[in-house]
Amino acid sequence: MSGAERSGGSSGWVEVSADALQANIAAFRETIGQEVALGVVLKADAYGHGLDQVLPAVHPLVDVLHVVTARDAARVRGWEAARGAARRRVLVLGVVDADEAVALAAAGVEVVVGDRSWRSIAARLAEVGGPTLAVHLHLDSGLGREGFLGEELDEVLGWLHAAGGAIAVVGALTHFADVEDVTEHAYASRQLEVFHAGVARLERGLAALGRPVPLETHTAASAAALVLPGSRCQQVRVGIALYGLWPSRETRLSLRVLGGPAVSLQPVLAWRCRSQAVRWIPAGSFVGYGCTHRCERATRVAVLPVGYFDGYPRLASHRAHVLVGGHRCPVLGRVMMNHLIVDVTDAPGDEEQVTATLIGRDGEEVVTADQLAGWAQTISYEIVARIGGHVPRQLVETAHDPQKFAGPAESG
């Protein structure tokens, strides 16, 4: 089937590059060294890249897989069982209920204890008397999200210890509030101090109860893992950088200022679509809702079947570019629910249908998720995580050359 037959009416497709994922993992291994475990964060459907696509590429290469929901942990275990793959450590960062906690213990999944719902969950686990659930205690060192304050720890240890052999505390973690937005990290350093004081208190408490210490500690997400070597502890939890995106401009700058080895990240995702129509409209024509764009010349426009429903941000109206034939083409007027209209007058060729790259490379040109985020006044995290779940994802070895590839087969 030709591309025209395949994807004329679809919202495009997302290509996920296995090579880029592997290169980013290798870059992190080199940065953190042998002593630190590499955890990767697969929450939010692998930051919008598709858990089903990302998992096969990263599973053999990393030490720990972090998810937010018990459901995603079950997806990982299901994938391993279906493939006969060795079990990786899986850690659930988010909220679970008592039934899920019982199931996670049975599946050998570790869980973060980060709020007071665990008082009753611990009691339930003791009652069920199933396999031991390994838990990591979340210490709130200054983000104000999940986790416990230092003075709460003795009480929390009390509930967990009361569950007897049903719960083993194996780790402690915290999450930074202010690494990405700044190039000086005084707040993060204070958080690290608060964390270490909390860990010392926890370990004293556990030892007094005859429980094993020391704990595995982990604090660093992508930015801290890159720019705060002292935060790496025993494990890092790399999210955005796994996908080849820098946490922020400040992180990139900080790394340069620190004079550390250059880290090269390769963007993993490309988002493309085939045009729904390509047409000439006369000079003076308006384009899109609100008549906010008027063509000054006879204009060849491509109508793309992608809009804000699909996760293309409406705030990018009038500002964004897409790539067609290796050429930058401006988005004309407003992004609509299911459409955007781009100016392809200066793009090469005169085909009746074109392939547009919304994020990714086409020839010598690139539109990065960061650029699209800039046009839409947000961050790359939100851009990729919000690409609609209905847009097909496809794991490819390397990013396709859009001039030769017309999109995945209908079933993809």
- Please report, as residue ranges, which positions from 240 to 269 form the binding site for ligand PLP (by CB under 6 A): 240-241, 247
Q: Is 357 in the site for ligand PLP (CB under 6 A)?
A: no
Q: Is 392 in the site for ligand PLP (CB under 6 A)?
A: no
Q: Is 222 in the site for ligand PLP (CB under 6 A)?
A: yes
Closest CB 268 distance from ligand PLP, rounded Å: 13
Binding segment for ligand PLP among 18-26, 95-103, 150-158, 220-228 (CB under 6 A)? 220-228
Instruction: Please report which residue ranges of 167-238 form alpha helices under DSSP H.
Output: 186-208, 222-227
What CA–CA distance (Å, rounded) separates 371 from 340? 17
Omega within 30 of 0 (cis) for the link into 214? yes
Distances (CA, A) of 253 to 181, 226, 248, 266, 366: 11, 11, 9, 17, 21
Closest CB 92 distance from ligand PLP, rounded Å: 11
Each residue 87-126 as x (binds ligand PLP by CB under 6 A) or -, in order, gives ------x---------------------------------
For residues 155-179, one letter each, b for 16 or more C-beta atoms within 10 angstroms of the residue's C-beta and e for the rest, the string is ebbebbbebeebbbbbbbbbbbbbb
Binding segment for ligand PLP among 127-135, 149-157, 221-229, 361-369 (CB under 6 A)? 221-229
H or E segment at 151? none
Q: Is 12 in the site for ligand PLP (CB under 6 A)?
A: no
Of 12 and 171, which CB lies nearer to ligand PLP in the complex structure? 171
Find the binder of ligand PLP among 198, 239, 244, 307 (CB under 6 A). 239
Q: How many residues bind ligand PLP (CB under 6 A)?
A: 13
Closest CB 396 distance from ligand PLP, rounded Å: 23
Of 179 and 322, which CB lies nearer to ligand PLP in the complex structure? 179
- Please report, as residue ranges, which positions from 157 to 176 form the binding site for ligand PLP (by CB under 6 A): 175
Of 246 and 308, which CB lies nearer to ligand PLP in the complex structure? 246
Binding segment for ligand PLP among 78-86, 103-111, 120-128, 233-241 (CB under 6 A)? 233-241
Which are the catalytic amino acids? Answer: 43, 289
What CA–CA distance (Å, rounded) separates 22 from 63? 14
Binding segment for ligand PLP among 29-37, 151-159, 161-169, 218-226 (CB under 6 A)? 218-226
Query: Which regions of 32-161 does DSSP assign to beta strands (E)?
Result: 37-41, 64-67, 89-92, 110-113, 133-138
- The closest alpha carbon to 359, from 373, 378, 347, 342, belongs to 373
By beta-carbon distance, which residue lies closest to ligand PLP? Answer: 239
Q: Is 221 in the site for ligand PLP (CB under 6 A)?
A: yes
Of 247 and 313, which CB lies nearer to ligand PLP in the complex structure? 247
**Which tokens in the block code for residue 131?**
């396999």
Of 140 and 310, which CB lies nearer to ligand PLP in the complex structure? 140
Contact by Cβ (8 Å): 28, 241 = yes
Closest CB 202 distance from ligand PLP, rounded Å: 18
Binding segment for ligand PLP among 18-26, 129-137, 162-170, 237-245 (CB under 6 A)? 237-245
Question: Where do we find the tokens 């650029």?
Answer: 371
H or E segment at 366? strand 365-367
Is the four-CA dihedral 181, 183, 187, 188 of positive or negative sign?
Answer: positive
Paired with 279 in beta bridges are 301
Binding segment for ligand PLP among 21-29, 215-223, 312-320, 334-342 (CB under 6 A)? 215-223
**Which tokens in the block code for residue 230?**
């002292």
- Please report, as residue ranges, which positions from 22 to 51 form the binding site for ligand PLP (by CB under 6 A): 41, 43
Of 237 and 274, which CB lies nearer to ligand PLP in the complex structure? 237
Contact by Cβ (8 Å): 4, 388 = no
Closest CB 300 distance from ligand PLP, rounded Å: 40
Find the binder of ligand PLP among 46, 133, 156, 238 (CB under 6 A). 238
Of 221 and 354, which CB lies nearer to ligand PLP in the complex structure? 221
**Which tokens in the block code for residue 177?**
């509030």
Contact by Cβ (8 Å): 265, 246 = yes
> Residues 6 or more apart from 329 whose CB is under 8 A from it?
302, 321, 322, 323, 342, 343, 344, 346, 347, 356
What CA–CA distance (Å, rounded) separates 341 from 329? 10
Positions that interact with ligand PLP (CB under 6 A): 41, 43, 93, 175, 221-223, 237-241, 247
